């Protein structure tokens, strides 16, 4: 361990103690228990998965993720980690189910989106609640349950079918965001591939990097006005919003979660359309640009707007400050914590009802204005002060009369290529089904080398789909749109939670592509 990195202090039973940093302690994160579901078209050795993850959590300050939560006298959380992991006090909770049938025939497995023959755009309704994939219903799903049971922070549940494996990793949101999970999955893959020497160190486990970043703005005499403050509703607006949320709790329009498959050619078509609609007339002028992410967010906002009473909309988009602050550029390691920011794009009725290009450009301009280093530093300072005073994040911005859409673009995380569990593959399910020996069923075969080889889009040990879940699922009061990223076939996977009537708009939009 680097001598400049503070060592964890000692606590009860000679445990190492890691603090839970200020923003991670916010009630907004305390109230969420997350899971990410990863689907493989391979049969994986669960013992190899468990052993390799344990080895990772024994390296340096990766040990923090193998700890238990404790509540201090002042109400703040901290993490206690034993000096060594044992069967009585393991690094994580690891459970495993095996079914002697295909994933497509199992009642829970067939509830997942269809990933075979996916070369056309589609909207797929989840046919069942996927949370049982995360393990026993009695497993901890709250901070209190974790503390009361002295349970590990991380839990892994593996479900093995005759042709597929589903791996679900669960954790309380106070531990990390999705980029923290990406770091975990990437370094887990390294250990599994016998590359433990290449594992990145975990940084900022004792001293909060955001406190250091915050000191920059406090010492800056020329700090900028925070752009998002211009969108803050006044007292009357806040009162209206409270009444509106109460109404939604009583008269929810009925939100449904579905998955969208959008092949690359259709994304390129949408982006080309948008760029054509905003192209400058003067060839000497700098041409405006909108990214695929901008176009997808605007596309979803326009479809939502068309399915509800006419009016403005505020699009709240997650960004990760790891990519926005210079303090992270030469980090040389992983920050396993929550490093998220909301940026808000108020979209007018005219923008929502007009061409796609100008709507995407308006969205992009609002995102850019709130994402500069100075603005991000100001936002973090505002949130830190708010959490100190009220124990929660300040998240309500925008026109009180506008509808709301939350957007989370996870494409940069690229789980489809980051996860590499190839050494744990004991059978390639896709080939076992498509390339059965002499036409016989080969689902029982453990060694894929005995099976006729057929082409597959993704390398063995990589995922074909993933799905974020909230285990202690709260009431849905606003629409959500999530970009998962592109699989090895170039298909973009999207998920959304929208009123049922909005999904008809998505289906019609896909038919017109």
What is the tens place of the pLDDT at every residue in 18-74? 999 999 999 999 999 999 999 999 999 999 999 999 999 999 999 999 999 999 999
| Residue 2 forms part of a structural domain | no
The last residue of one of the domains, among 144, 175, 205, is 205
pLDDT above 90 for 431:
no
Tell me which of 6-10, 303-307, 344-348 is least confident: 6-10
Query: What pLDDT was estimated at residue 220?
Result: 67
Q: Report the share of the chain in percent with pLDDT over 90.
A: 79
Residues 235 and 269 in one domain: yes
In the predicted model, what is the mean pLDDT of residues 379-401? 95
| Residue 135 forms part of a structural domain | yes
Tell me which of 52-56, 221-225, 307-311 is least confident: 221-225
Sequence-separated (6 or more) residues with CB below 8 Å from residue 191: 52, 53, 55, 56, 59, 199
Can you give the pTM of this predicted structure?
A: 0.92
Contacts for 218-222 with beta carbons within 8 Å, 24 or more apart?
218/381
pLDDT above 80 for 4:
no
Query: What pLDDT was estimated at residue 242?
Result: 81
Q: pLDDT tens digits, residue range 287-304?
A: 899 999 999 999 999 999
pLDDT above 90 for 250:
no
Q: Report the share of the chain in percent with pLDDT over 70.
A: 89
| Residue 457 forms part of a structural domain | no
Residues 184 and 319 in one domain: no
| Residue 435 forms part of a structural domain | no
The residue ranking higher by pLDDT, 413 or 438, is 413
Backbone φ and ψ of 302, nearest 5°: -70, -40
- Cβ neighbours around 441 below 10 Å, total: 11
pLDDT above 70 for 443:
no
Rounded CA-CA distance 129/108 in Å is 8
Q: Enter the tokens of residue 4.
A: 């400049």
Query: What pLDDT was estimated at residue 329?
Result: 87
What are the b/e assignments for 479-491, b being 16+ CB within 10 Å? bbbbbbbbbeeeb
Q: pLDDT tens digits, residue range 180-199?
A: 999 999 999 999 999 999 99
Q: How confident is the model at residue 262 (pLDDT cuts 50, 70, 90)?
A: very high
Residues 187 and 231 in one domain: no
Q: pLDDT tens digits, residue range 492-508?
A: 999 999 999 999 999 99
Query: What pLDDT was estimated at residue 27?
Result: 97
Q: Is the CB of residue 173 less than 8 Å from the CB of residue 333?
A: no
**How many domains are there within the chain?**
2
Query: What pLDDT was estimated at residue 430?
Result: 66
Residues 138 and 260 in one domain: no
The residue ranking higher by pLDDT, 163 or 431, is 163
Rounded CA-CA distance 132/476 in Å is 19
Query: What pLDDT was estimated at residue 11?
Result: 58
| Residue 427 forms part of a structural domain | no
Query: What pLDDT was estimated at residue 444?
Result: 38
Residues 93 and 143 in one domain: yes
| Residue 449 forms part of a structural domain | no
Residues 150 and 266 in one domain: no
pLDDT above 60 for 222:
no
- Bridge pairing between strands 93-98 and 33-40: unpaired
The residue ranking higher by pLDDT, 268 or 475, is 268
Q: Is the CB of residue 318 less than 8 Å from the CB of residue 340?
A: yes
Query: What pLDDT was estimated at residue 286?
Result: 75
The residue ranking higher by pLDDT, 240 or 92, is 92
| Residue 122 forms part of a structural domain | no
Query: What pLDDT was estimated at residue 446?
Result: 39
Residue-by-residue DSSP string for 285-299: SPPP---HHHHHHHH
- Cβ neighbours around 316 below 10 Å, total: 19
Axis crossing angle, helix 373-390 with helix 209-218, rounded to the nearest 10: 110
| Residue 151 forms part of a structural domain | yes
What is the rounded average pLDDT for all residues in the chain? 90
CA distances from 418 to 189, 337, 359 (A): 8, 19, 32
Query: What pLDDT was estimated at residue 285?
Result: 61
The last residue of one of the domains, among 157, 182, 205, is 205
Q: How confident is the model at residue 104 (pLDDT cuts 50, 70, 90)?
A: very high
In the predicted model, what is the mean pLDDT of residues 260-279? 95
Cα-only R_g, the chain: 24
Tell me which of 272-276, 286-290, 437-441 is least confident: 437-441
Candidate ranges 234-248, 332-346, 445-459; pick with highest mean pLDDT: 332-346
Query: What pLDDT was estimated at residue 244?
Result: 80
Domain extent for 182: 9-115+129-205
Question: Burial of 310 by CB count in 10 Å (0-12 exposed, 13-18 middle, 19+ buried)?
Answer: exposed
Q: How confident is the model at residue 432 (pLDDT cuts 50, 70, 90)?
A: very low
Residues 262 and 185 in one domain: no
pLDDT above 60 for 308:
yes
Residues 178 and 284 in one domain: no
In the predicted model, what is the mean pLDDT of residues 87-111? 95
pLDDT above 60 for 435:
no
User: Quick one: which of 290, 352, 358, 293 has its CA closest to 319?
Assistant: 293
Residues 220 and 201 in one domain: no
CA distances from 416 to 139, 162, 200, 296 (A): 28, 22, 20, 19
Residues 195 and 215 in one domain: no
Query: What pLDDT was estimated at residue 218?
Result: 67
Query: What pLDDT was estimated at residue 245?
Result: 77
Query: What pLDDT was estimated at residue 276?
Result: 94
Rounded CA-CA distance 454/75 in Å is 57
pLDDT above 50 for 445:
no
Question: The CATH number of the domain where 328 resides is what?
Answer: 3.30.559.10
Residues 221 and 97 in one domain: no
């Amino acid at each position: 361990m680097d001598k400049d990195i503070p060592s964890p202090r000692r606590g009860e039973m000679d445990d190492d103690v890691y603090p839970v940093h200020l923003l991670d302690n916010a009630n907004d994160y305390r109230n969420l228990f997350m899971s990410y579901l990863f689907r493989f078209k391979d049969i994986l050795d669960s013992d190899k998965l468990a052993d390799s993850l344990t080895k990772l959590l024994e390296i340096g300050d990766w040990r923090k993720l193998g700890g238990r939560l404790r509540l201090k006298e002042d109400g703040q959380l901290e993490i206690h980690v034993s000096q060594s992991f044992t069967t009585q006090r393991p690094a994580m909770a690891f459970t495993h189910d095996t079914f002697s049938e295909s994933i497509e025939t199992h009642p829970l497995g067939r509830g997942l989106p269809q990933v075979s023959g996916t070369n056309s755009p589609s909207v797929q309704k989840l046919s069942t609640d996927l949370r049982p994939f995360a393990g026993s219903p009695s497993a901890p799903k709250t901070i209190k349950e974790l503390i009361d049971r002295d349970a590990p922070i991380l839990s892994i549940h593996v479900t093995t079918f005759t042709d597929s494996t589903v791996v679900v990793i669960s954790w309380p949101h106070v531990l990390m965001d999705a980029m923290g999970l990406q770091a975990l999955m990437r370094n887990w893959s390294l250990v599994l591939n016998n590359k433990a020497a290449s594992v990145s160190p975990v940084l900022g486990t004792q001293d909060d990097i955001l406190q250091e970043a915050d000191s920059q703005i406090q010492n800056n005499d020329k700090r900028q006005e925070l752009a998002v403050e211009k969108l803050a509703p006044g007292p009357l607006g806040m009162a209206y919003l409270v009444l509106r949320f109460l109404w939604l709790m009583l008269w929810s329009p009925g939100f449904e979660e579905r998955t969208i498959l959008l092949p690359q050619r259709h994304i390129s078509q949408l982006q080309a359309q948008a760029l054509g609609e905003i192209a400058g007339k003067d060839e000497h002028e700098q041409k405006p640009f909108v990214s695929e992410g901008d176009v997808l967010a605007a596309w979803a906002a326009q479809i939502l707007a068309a399915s509800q009473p006419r009016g403005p909309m505020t699009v709240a988009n997650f960004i990760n400050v790891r990519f926005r602050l210079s303090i992270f550029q030469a980090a040389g390691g992983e920050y396993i914590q929550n490093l998220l920011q909301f940026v808000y794009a108020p979209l007018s009725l005219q923008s929502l009802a007009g061409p796609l290009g100008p709507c995407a450009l308006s969205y992009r301009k609002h995102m850019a204005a709130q994402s500069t280093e100075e603005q991000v530093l100001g936002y973090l300072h505002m949130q830190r002060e708010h959490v100190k005073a009220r124990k929660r994040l300040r998240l309500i911005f925008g026109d009180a009369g506008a509808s709301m859409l939350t957007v989370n673009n996870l494409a940069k995380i690229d789980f489809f290529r980051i996860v590499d569990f190839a050494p744990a593959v004991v059978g390639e399910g896709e080939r076992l089904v498509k390339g059965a020996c002499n036409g016989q069923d080969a689902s029982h075969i453990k060694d894929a080398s005995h099976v006729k080889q057929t082409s597959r889009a993704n390398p063995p040990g990589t995922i074909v789909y993933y799905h974020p879940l909230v285990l202690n699922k709260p009431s849905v009061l606003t629409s959500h749109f999530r970009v998962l990223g592109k699989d090895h076939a170039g298909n973009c996977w999207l998920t959304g939670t929208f009123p049922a009537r909005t999904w008809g708009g998505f289906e019609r939009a896909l038919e017109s592509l």
